């Protein structure tokens, strides 16, 4: 005799099977999404690496000034420039840094979807700044490849005094060109690390001799030098373990890899002492 509908037991079995299937599918979907996001991020960085190489070819083999690469100037409000849509160099060419002619006039390649998600969830602007967190930029140039002056004020402060040639880099496959920085503020990290164009992996300024002879054991969070930029920690991790992940970087030779923030200084420093400065 045919029954109509299901018994309670049958329903429970069906629900249990669906729950089991979801438990299997959801994490693998999440992993698939992360993998797709990672491909986007890697392609973005390849694009940055190529733009950087084209820049050096057009500029006597010289790297750009890191602090003037995305934005022409780091002031004002540099801490939140990376998510300030009213300062988008695509729409406001007068703000555009030296790399823009090579990066192209489109929005997409400047942002890692993983960074975008973390930044929207975590970033709190410094007090006094009230800009919606709608990230535009997530990549920063290695400041030891080209940087401005430590002292001075006004325009002089941004003079390109650390001028590095591509031929100076003995191992282009082990020095990073562009990388990701963390979008959150922590007591152990300098608040200005938030994509101010330049990733300076030492607490000292690149035009300071000390920046080149730092003891890596002094790096955050092990030693007394608490203030410095470092590579991001938001890949391959969760929100709860936001300081335990990794960062994508593109190297001077153009290859892309994933690295730990603890290697920031090792991957930044291409010389054992400060190179000559150009005033």
**Helix/strand/coil percent split, the chain, to 5:** 40, 15, 45
If the CB atoms of residues 65 and 195 are measured against Zn ion, the closer one turns out to be: 195
Residues 110-129 that bind Zn ion (CB under 5 A): 112, 114, 125
**Nearest distance from residue 46's CB to Zn ion, in Å?**
12
CA dist., res. 92 & res. 95, Å (int): 6
Element (H, E) at 7: none
Q: Determine if 81 is a binding residue for Zn ion (CB under 5 A).
A: no
Residue 115 · residue 233 · CB < 8 Å: no
CA dist., res. 262 & res. 275, Å (int): 24
**241, exposed or middle or buried, with CB in 10 Å at 0-12, 13-18, 19+?**
exposed
Q: Determine if 248 is a binding residue for Zn ion (CB under 5 A).
A: yes
Which residue's Cβ has the minimum distance to Zn ion? Answer: 112
* Token pair of 62 as six digits: 């010289």
**Nearest distance from residue 28's CB to Zn ion, in Å?**
21
Tell the residue number behind the tokens 């200084």, with chain if given.
265
Residues 21-60 that bind Zn ion (CB under 5 A): 41
**Nearest distance from residue 127's CB to Zn ion, in Å?**
11
**Nearest distance from residue 195's CB to Zn ion, in Å?**
10
DSSP class of residue 165 equals B
Element (H, E) at 21: helix 8-58
Of 80-88, 92-100, 168-176, 210-218, the window that binds Zn ion (rule: CB under 5 A) is: 80-88
If the CB atoms of residues 195 and 207 are measured against Zn ion, the closer one turns out to be: 195
CA dist., res. 278 & res. 27, Å (int): 53
Residue 218 · residue 188 · CB < 8 Å: no
- Binding Zn ion (rule: CB under 5 A), the pick from 66, 70, 80, 250 is 80
If the CB atoms of residues 25 and 39 are measured against Zn ion, the closer one turns out to be: 39
If the CB atoms of residues 48 and 270 are measured against Zn ion, the closer one turns out to be: 48
Q: Determine if 252 is a binding residue for Zn ion (CB under 5 A).
A: no
If the CB atoms of residues 80 and 164 are measured against Zn ion, the closer one turns out to be: 80
Binding mask 204-243 for Zn ion (x = CB under 5 A): ----------------------------------------
């Amino acid at each position: 005799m045919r029954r109509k509908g299901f018994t309670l037991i049958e329903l429970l079995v069906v629900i249990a099977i669906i729950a089991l299937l979801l438990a299997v599918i959801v994490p693998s979907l999440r992993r698939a999404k992360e993998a797709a996001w990672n491909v986007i991020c890697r392609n973005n960085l390849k694009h940055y690496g190529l733009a950087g190489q084209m820049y050096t070819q057009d500029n006597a083999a010289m790297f750009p000034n890191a602090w003037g690469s995305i934005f022409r100037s780091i002031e004002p409000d540099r801490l939140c420039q990376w998510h300030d849509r009213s300062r988008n160099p695509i729409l406001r060419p007068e703000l555009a840094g030296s790399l823009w002619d090579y990066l192209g006039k489109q929005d997409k390649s400047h942002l890692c979807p993983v960074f975008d998600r973390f930044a929207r969830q975590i970033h709190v602007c410094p007090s006094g700044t009230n800009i919606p967190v709608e990230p535009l930029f997530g990549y920063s140039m290695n400041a030891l490849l080209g940087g401005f002056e430590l002292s001075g004020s006004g325009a002089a402060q941004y003079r390109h005094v650390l001028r590095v040639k591509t031929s100076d880099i003995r191992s282009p496959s082990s020095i990073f060109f562009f990388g990701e920085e963390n979008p959150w503020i922590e007591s152990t990290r300098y608040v200005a690390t938030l994509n101010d164009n330049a990733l300076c992996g030492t607490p000292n300024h690149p035009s300071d001799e000390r920046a080149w002879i730092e003891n890596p054991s002094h790096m955050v969070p092990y030693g007394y030098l608490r203030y410095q930029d470092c590579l991001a920690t938001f890949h391959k991790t969760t929100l709860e373990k936001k300081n335990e992940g990794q960062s994508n970087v593109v190297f001077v030779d153009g290859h892309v890899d994933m690295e730990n923030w603890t290697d920031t200084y090792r991957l930044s420093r291409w010389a054992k002492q400060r190179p000559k400065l150009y005033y």
